[in-house]
Amino acid sequence: MGRLEILDTTLRDGAQGEGISFTVSDKLNVVKALDELGVAYIEAGNPGSNPKDMEFFRLAGQLTLQNATLVAFGSTRRKNMPAEQDDNVRSLLLANTPAVSIFGKCWKMHVTEILRATPEENLVLVEDTLRFLTNNGKEVIFDAEHFYDGYKDDPAYALSVLEAACRGGAGTLCLCDTNGGALPLEIYEITQAVCARFADKKVGVHCHNDAGCAVANSLLAVKAGARHVQGTFTGIGERCGNADLSVILPNLQLKMGYQAMTGHMSRLYDSVRKVSEICNMPVGDGKPFTGSSAFAHKGGMHIDGVSKTPRSFEHIDPEWVGNKRRFLLSEVSGKQAVLLKLNAVAPELTKDSPQTARILEALKEREHEGYQYEAADASFELLVKRVLGKFEPHFKLIMYKTFGEFPPPEGDMTANAMVKVDVGGNTEITAALGNGPVHALDQALRKALGVFYPALSDVHLTDYKVRMLETGQATGSRVRVLIVSSDGNREWTTVGASSDIIEASFAALVDSIEYKLCWEESRWA
């Protein structure tokens, strides 16, 4: 159906999101990630707003980009000042990017009450600024700010602003739902009208997510004729965020038949994580296409259907976007889910094997106690080995104690722990300090076992989560603890449950260490 232009504004509009702060190095790394993915334009900041952005543009000019064009962002010139004398406009030339984005007012209310100009003055500001930049060799994208609200208020004036932009030499007219309140059918009808009026121009769309419709609005704008789409790569941005390009891209390319990027769509999953890591934000489990739960199946009937015909419960093949299918284990999963999960642990078992029924029964019993294995693959594998009689503990815990202090002493170490273990008839007693009882226990246990198992010196905890299960009992409730461990090369998750948070944590710690030791044995077997 044709090719679209994607403009990513993660580094400009996305940087306005709460909690987002990019260093110059961060911005350069985001540019590299987006260029590898193959977006057409990267809007990277306003060089006139701060020295950091100007420094970024200086360094970004030294990058060799394969797919993307860098874009500097700015506004129309100030009133009563020629464009060539406006420092903000001049900074766009100093940024030395091939293209620039200029935003101008399209809502008459904004012109008179915010800009404090007459409608006619605003038209001159738009035309003069764009003509100055195009005369200096810049490709100009005109961001028609508040266009949809302005059109609903006064269609003739909103369109007259676009005409002024065309006279100034704009190559793209990007219609902005700046307040993020427009609905999909409104976006479709207005975009269609603009595309008909400016048939010889490239029309774009820039949506915010204040009504939760930014992705749908962007797709409807394309359906109405837009060929330029703006957004941020993970949906970050001011207030409720911008249109999420990581959701828009696969919809455009895999479902609507457009060529929206030059890179392979299978890179999407890794690119989302790379950009999210730079933003210091987690990727939501339920994020469409690239979340860890996007292709996770838990219901027994769903799992049975997917194992026979994947498209029965999956809208696309997860590998198309670099994701993978997951089968979650719970009391509602059924034998098929257990079998699929067992394939890597005990491939000899079948649906009718008595061991399979025993494993399913053990799973249900443990989940009744508060355990949950859908995210704790390592603990599930150990549970299977225990049921099958294939597990031999590497150590026996004789005792543990934890102590805390209040007020805490100077420094971060507020707790200490002591453990006594038995390994093959040999006992070891150790103590350790930690910044909490669980941390102290982890340190003491690995210190004691490290005497017998040196491989544990590489193991450390990377995440620790606690969930209260029976909220009606307040502080007497049972808790579930999930621990993520790593040895620098691999990562695994274990689970513990108890009415005592220390006991639940310790159960997960023991599973973490046992899993590591089992893996070491299998590696050298």
pLDDT confidence of residue 332: 55
Over residues 355-363, mean pLDDT: 84
**pLDDT tens digits for 316-330?**
999 999 998 877 765
* pLDDT, tens digit (0-9, with 9 covering 90-100), for 456-476: 888 888 888 888 776 555 445
Out of 41-55, 113-127, 338-352, 439-453, pick the least confident.
Answer: 338-352
Instruction: Specify whether the CB–CB gap between 500 and 469 falls below 8 A.
Output: no
Is the model's pTM score more than 0.85? no
Binned at pLDDT 50, 70 and 90, residue 376 comes out as confident
pLDDT in tens, 218-264: 999 999 999 999 999 999 999 999 999 999 999 999 999 999 999 89
Q: What is the pLDDT of residues 297-310, one digit of tens each?
A: 877 778 778 878 88
Mean of pLDDT over the chain: 90
In this prediction, residue 226 carries a pLDDT of: 98
The β-bridge partners of 422 are 396, 427
* Full DSSP string of 432-496: EEESSHHHHHHHHHHHHHHTT-GGGGG-EEEEEEEEES-GGGGGG--EEEEEEEE-SS-EEEEEE
Sign of CA dihedral 26, 29, 34, 37: negative
Cα-atom radius of gyration of the chain, to the nearest Å? Answer: 29
CA-to-CA distance for 83 and 132, rounded, in angstroms?
A: 7
Cβ pair 316, 254 in contact under 8 A = yes
| pLDDT in the model for residue 408 | 65
Name all domains of the chain by residue range, CATH numbers in brackets. Answer: 5-263 (3.20.20.70), 348-394+459-525 (3.30.160.340), 406-452 (no CATH)
* Cα(422)–Cα(129) distance, integer angstroms: 78
